[in-house]
Amino acid sequence: MLSDGIAVLVLAVIAGAQDAEDVADFGKANLAWLRQFFSLAAGAPARDFYLRLMAVLKPNAFELPSASG
């Protein structure tokens, strides 16, 4: 499910993932824990899934508003 993949992406980035490979590795390494919260019936999404997902997401949507101003 797309929402599960996005959630794993966000969690992986919080945990320090820098690219799609890191996100996929995070999903595989933490699959048992992630399944407590998400279905992930087909297992952790692969690197290619995250490459496609990152290509369509708007990076600015994840930026926090500036404290100044």
Quote the mean pLDDT of the chain. 88
- Which amino acid makes up residue 40? L
Neighbours of 21 (CB within 10 A): 13
In the predicted structure, residue 18 carries a pLDDT above the cut 60: yes
In the predicted structure, residue 48 carries a pLDDT above the cut 80: yes
How much is the pTM? 0.82
Share of the chain above pLDDT 70, in %: 87
Better-scored residue on pLDDT, 59 or 64 = 59
As a whole number of angstroms, the distance between CA 53 and CA 68 comes to 31
Binned at pLDDT 50, 70 and 90, residue 10 comes out as: very high
Binned at pLDDT 50, 70 and 90, residue 2 comes out as: confident
46: tokens are: 């692969």
List the end-to-end C-alpha distance of the chain, in Å, as a whole number.
39
39: tokens are: 């279905």
Of 4, 6, 44, which is closest to residue 24 (Cα–Cα)? 44
